[in-house]
Protein backbone atom coordinates (compact mmCIF):
# COMPACT_ATOMS: atom_id res chain seq x y z
CA UNK A 1 0.00 0.00 0.00
CA UNK A 2 1.19 3.49 -0.86
CA UNK A 3 0.43 6.58 1.21
CA UNK A 4 0.73 10.30 0.56
CA UNK A 5 2.30 11.97 3.60
CA UNK A 6 2.00 15.73 4.20
CA UNK A 7 0.99 16.11 0.52
CA UNK A 8 4.69 15.82 -0.31
CA UNK A 9 6.01 12.29 0.27
CA UNK A 10 4.92 8.93 -1.12
CA UNK A 11 5.55 6.07 1.30
CA UNK A 12 5.35 2.46 0.11
CA UNK A 13 4.94 0.13 3.08
CA UNK A 14 5.78 -2.93 0.95
CA UNK A 15 9.34 -2.00 -0.02
CA UNK A 16 9.92 0.75 2.54
CA UNK A 17 10.60 3.45 -0.05
CA UNK A 18 9.96 7.14 0.61
CA UNK A 19 9.99 9.43 -2.42
CA UNK A 20 9.17 13.06 -3.11
CA UNK A 21 6.09 13.81 -5.20
CA UNK A 22 6.87 15.04 -8.73
CA UNK A 23 10.63 14.69 -8.21
CA UNK A 24 11.67 11.82 -10.52
CA UNK A 25 15.32 12.87 -10.42
CA UNK A 26 15.52 12.48 -6.63
CA UNK A 27 16.43 8.98 -5.51
CA UNK A 28 13.88 7.56 -3.05
CA UNK A 29 14.98 6.73 0.47
CA UNK A 30 14.68 3.01 1.18
CA UNK A 31 14.15 1.96 4.80
CA UNK A 32 15.60 -1.15 6.36
CA UNK A 33 13.17 -3.91 7.29
CA UNK A 34 13.16 -2.82 10.94
CA UNK A 35 12.73 0.87 10.17
CA UNK A 36 9.99 0.05 7.68
CA UNK A 37 8.17 -2.05 10.27
CA UNK A 38 8.15 0.90 12.67
CA UNK A 39 7.12 3.35 9.94
CA UNK A 40 4.29 1.08 8.83
CA UNK A 41 2.88 0.90 12.37
CA UNK A 42 3.06 4.68 12.76
CA UNK A 43 1.24 5.27 9.47
CA UNK A 44 -1.39 2.58 10.10
CA UNK A 45 -2.08 4.13 13.53
CA UNK A 46 -1.92 7.72 12.28
CA UNK A 47 -2.90 10.15 15.06
CA UNK A 48 -2.87 7.35 17.62
CA UNK A 49 -0.18 6.53 20.17
CA UNK A 50 1.61 3.24 19.54
CA UNK A 51 3.03 1.87 22.77
CA UNK A 52 6.66 0.83 23.00
CA UNK A 53 5.67 -2.73 23.86
CA UNK A 54 3.66 -2.94 20.63
CA UNK A 55 6.68 -1.89 18.54
CA UNK A 56 8.93 -4.41 20.26
CA UNK A 57 6.36 -7.17 19.86
CA UNK A 58 5.40 -6.54 16.22
CA UNK A 59 8.72 -5.36 14.77
CA UNK A 60 11.24 -7.47 16.69
CA UNK A 61 9.58 -10.40 18.48
CA UNK A 62 7.43 -11.38 15.49
CA UNK A 63 10.59 -11.73 13.38
CA UNK A 64 12.45 -13.74 16.00
CA UNK A 65 14.69 -10.82 16.94
CA UNK A 66 15.46 -9.26 20.29
CA UNK A 67 14.62 -5.60 20.60
CA UNK A 68 15.01 -3.00 23.33
CA UNK A 69 13.91 0.53 24.14
CA UNK A 70 17.35 1.78 23.12
CA UNK A 71 17.15 0.13 19.70
CA UNK A 72 13.63 1.49 19.22
CA UNK A 73 14.83 5.00 20.11
CA UNK A 74 17.66 4.68 17.60
CA UNK A 75 15.35 3.69 14.77
CA UNK A 76 12.89 6.46 15.62
CA UNK A 77 15.80 8.91 15.42
CA UNK A 78 16.77 7.49 12.02
CA UNK A 79 13.21 7.85 10.72
CA UNK A 80 13.01 11.43 11.94
CA UNK A 81 16.25 12.33 10.16
CA UNK A 82 15.08 10.73 6.91
CA UNK A 83 11.71 12.50 7.01
CA UNK A 84 13.28 15.82 8.04
CA UNK A 85 15.70 15.59 5.12
CA UNK A 86 12.69 15.57 2.78
CA UNK A 87 10.30 17.94 4.63
CA UNK A 88 12.34 19.96 7.18
CA UNK A 89 9.44 22.10 8.38
CA UNK A 90 7.18 19.18 9.40
CA UNK A 91 7.35 17.19 12.65
CA UNK A 92 6.17 13.74 11.60
CA UNK A 93 6.84 11.63 14.70
CA UNK A 94 5.81 12.74 18.18
CA UNK A 95 7.21 11.26 21.39
CA UNK A 96 4.59 10.56 24.06
CA UNK A 97 6.54 10.28 27.34
CA UNK A 98 6.24 7.02 29.28
CA UNK A 99 4.13 5.52 26.50
CA UNK A 100 5.43 5.44 22.94
CA UNK A 101 5.30 7.32 19.66
CA UNK A 102 2.70 8.55 17.18
CA UNK A 103 2.47 9.92 13.67
CA UNK A 104 1.34 13.49 14.25
CA UNK A 105 -2.33 14.22 13.60
CA UNK A 106 -1.15 17.44 11.92
CA UNK A 107 0.44 15.36 9.16
CA UNK A 108 -2.04 14.50 6.42
CA UNK A 109 -1.96 10.77 5.54
CA UNK A 110 -3.93 9.55 2.51
CA UNK A 111 -3.90 6.03 0.97
CA UNK A 112 -3.06 6.12 -2.71
CA UNK A 113 -4.46 3.98 -5.54
CA UNK A 114 -2.12 1.81 -7.56
CA UNK A 115 -1.61 4.70 -9.99
CA UNK A 116 -1.56 7.91 -7.94
CA UNK A 117 -3.17 10.89 -9.57
CA UNK A 118 -0.91 13.82 -10.28
CA UNK A 119 -1.74 17.09 -8.59
CA UNK A 120 -1.38 20.10 -10.87
CA UNK A 121 0.26 23.01 -9.09
CA UNK A 122 -1.32 26.43 -9.41
CA UNK A 123 -4.81 25.04 -10.07
CA UNK A 124 -6.05 24.35 -6.57
CA UNK A 125 -9.61 25.48 -5.88
CA UNK A 126 -10.14 26.80 -2.37
CA UNK A 127 -13.40 25.97 -0.67
CA UNK A 128 -14.77 26.07 2.83
CA UNK A 129 -16.31 22.79 3.92
CA UNK A 130 -16.97 22.23 7.64
CA UNK A 131 -17.69 18.61 8.53
CA UNK A 132 -18.54 16.92 11.78
CA UNK A 133 -17.48 13.29 12.00
CA UNK A 134 -17.41 10.78 14.79
CA UNK A 135 -13.99 9.14 14.80
CA UNK A 136 -13.25 5.48 15.21
CA UNK A 137 -11.60 3.78 18.11
CA UNK A 138 -8.04 4.67 17.13
CA UNK A 139 -8.56 8.43 17.14
CA UNK A 140 -10.61 8.26 20.33
CA UNK A 141 -7.84 6.28 21.98
CA UNK A 142 -5.26 8.87 20.94
CA UNK A 143 -7.22 11.73 22.49
CA UNK A 144 -8.02 9.67 25.58
CA UNK A 145 -4.34 8.89 26.08
CA UNK A 146 -3.41 12.57 25.83
CA UNK A 147 -5.99 13.48 28.46
CA UNK A 148 -4.92 10.58 30.64
CA UNK A 149 -1.36 11.86 30.60
CA UNK A 150 -2.56 15.26 31.79
CA UNK A 151 -4.50 13.86 34.71
CA UNK A 152 -1.82 11.44 35.86
CA UNK A 153 1.30 13.48 35.09
CA UNK A 154 0.68 17.19 35.51
CA UNK A 155 4.36 17.90 35.80
CA UNK A 156 5.48 16.07 32.68
CA UNK A 157 6.82 18.79 30.41
CA UNK A 158 5.91 17.11 27.12
CA UNK A 159 2.50 15.97 28.32
CA UNK A 160 1.51 19.28 29.89
CA UNK A 161 -1.97 20.48 29.03
CA UNK A 162 -3.01 24.13 28.95
CA UNK A 163 -6.38 25.43 30.10
CA UNK A 164 -8.04 27.48 27.34
CA UNK A 165 -11.55 28.10 28.63
CA UNK A 166 -14.64 26.35 30.03
CA UNK A 167 -17.71 25.04 28.25
CA UNK A 168 -20.27 25.15 31.01
CA UNK A 169 -18.40 23.70 33.98
CA UNK A 170 -16.15 21.55 31.78
CA UNK A 171 -12.56 22.75 31.23
CA UNK A 172 -11.18 22.90 27.70
CA UNK A 173 -7.47 22.06 27.41
CA UNK A 174 -4.99 22.35 24.56
CA UNK A 175 -1.95 20.14 24.18
CA UNK A 176 0.30 23.15 23.54
CA UNK A 177 -0.03 26.79 24.64
CA UNK A 178 -1.70 29.29 22.33
CA UNK A 179 -0.64 32.88 21.91
CA UNK A 180 -2.99 35.30 23.67
CA UNK A 181 -3.98 36.86 20.36
CA UNK A 182 -5.40 33.49 19.23
CA UNK A 183 -7.42 32.69 22.36
CA UNK A 184 -10.70 34.30 21.32
CA UNK A 185 -10.61 32.65 17.88
CA UNK A 186 -9.82 29.23 19.40
CA UNK A 187 -12.58 29.58 22.00
CA UNK A 188 -15.12 30.58 19.35
CA UNK A 189 -14.21 27.60 17.15
CA UNK A 190 -14.33 25.18 20.09
CA UNK A 191 -17.77 26.37 21.18
CA UNK A 192 -19.08 26.33 17.61
CA UNK A 193 -18.08 22.74 16.92
CA UNK A 194 -19.30 21.70 20.39
CA UNK A 195 -22.69 23.29 19.76
CA UNK A 196 -23.06 22.04 16.18
CA UNK A 197 -21.97 18.55 17.17
CA UNK A 198 -24.39 18.52 20.12
CA UNK A 199 -21.72 17.43 22.61
CA UNK A 200 -22.88 18.62 26.05
CA UNK A 201 -20.77 19.29 29.12
CA UNK A 202 -21.31 16.20 31.23
CA UNK A 203 -20.59 15.81 34.91
CA UNK A 204 -16.90 14.96 35.52
CA UNK A 205 -15.91 15.42 31.90
CA UNK A 206 -13.33 17.54 30.14
CA UNK A 207 -12.67 18.73 26.60
CA UNK A 208 -9.42 18.43 24.66
CA UNK A 209 -8.84 20.79 21.72
CA UNK A 210 -6.29 20.43 18.96
CA UNK A 211 -6.22 23.23 16.40
CA UNK A 212 -3.87 23.89 13.49
CA UNK A 213 -2.36 27.36 13.54
CA UNK A 214 -3.23 27.87 9.87
CA UNK A 215 -6.87 28.40 10.86
CA UNK A 216 -5.85 31.54 12.73
CA UNK A 217 -4.52 33.08 9.51
CA UNK A 218 -7.56 32.39 7.34
CA UNK A 219 -6.04 29.35 5.62
CA UNK A 220 -7.13 25.74 5.45
CA UNK A 221 -6.67 23.67 8.58
CA UNK A 222 -8.14 21.13 10.93
CA UNK A 223 -9.65 21.29 14.41
CA UNK A 224 -10.27 18.32 16.69
CA UNK A 225 -12.46 18.55 19.79
CA UNK A 226 -12.81 15.57 22.11
CA UNK A 227 -15.12 15.32 25.11
CA UNK A 228 -13.98 12.67 27.59
CA UNK A 229 -15.53 11.49 30.83
CA UNK A 230 -13.30 10.89 33.85
CA UNK A 231 -13.44 7.71 35.90
CA UNK A 232 -13.16 7.63 39.68
CA UNK A 233 -9.43 7.13 39.18
CA UNK A 234 -9.33 10.35 37.11
CA UNK A 235 -8.65 8.50 33.88
CA UNK A 236 -10.24 9.56 30.61
CA UNK A 237 -12.79 7.19 29.12
CA UNK A 238 -15.84 7.17 26.84
CA UNK A 239 -14.42 9.88 24.60
CA UNK A 240 -16.44 11.45 21.80
CA UNK A 241 -14.47 13.24 19.10
CA UNK A 242 -15.47 15.77 16.46
CA UNK A 243 -13.48 16.92 13.42
CA UNK A 244 -13.75 20.28 11.69
CA UNK A 245 -12.14 20.79 8.30
CA UNK A 246 -11.51 23.95 6.29
CA UNK A 247 -9.69 23.34 3.02
- Could you report the per-residue pLDDT of 73-115, keeping only the tens digit for each? 999 999 999 998 888 888 999 998 888 999 999 999 999 886 5
pLDDT for 200-212, tens place per residue? 888 888 888 888 7
Q: Cα torsion at 72, 78, 80, 81 (round to 10°)? A: 160
64: pLDDT strictly greater than 80: yes
Give every CB contact of residue 120 below 8 A, 6+ residues apart in sequence.
none
More confident residue, 230 or 60: 60
For residues 133-160, give the mean pLDDT.
48
123: pLDDT strictly greater than 50: no
More confident residue, 215 or 14: 14
pLDDT for 151-197, tens place per residue? 444 334 334 578 899 998 999 988 778 888 888 888 988 888 888 88
Distance CA 172, CA 97 (A): 22
Confirm whether pTM is higher than 0.85: no
* Strand ranges inside the chain, DSSP E: 2-5, 9-12, 17-20, 29-30, 50-51, 93-96, 100-103, 109-112, 162-167, 170-174, 205-211, 221-230, 236-246
Question: With pLDDT > 90 as the criterion, what percentage of the chain qualifies?
Answer: 33
229: pLDDT strictly greater than 90: no
pLDDT attached to residue 192: 87
pLDDT attached to residue 129: 45
pLDDT attached to residue 165: 92
pLDDT attached to residue 213: 75
pLDDT for 18-46, tens place per residue? 998 877 777 888 999 999 999 999 999 99
Amino acid sequence: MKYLLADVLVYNDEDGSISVVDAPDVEPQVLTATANGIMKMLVNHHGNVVEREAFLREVWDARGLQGSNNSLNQYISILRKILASQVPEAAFIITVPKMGFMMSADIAVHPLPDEPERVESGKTTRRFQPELLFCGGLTILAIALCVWMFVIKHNQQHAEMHLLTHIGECPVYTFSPLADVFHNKAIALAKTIQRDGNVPCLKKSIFYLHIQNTLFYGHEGRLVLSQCSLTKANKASACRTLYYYDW
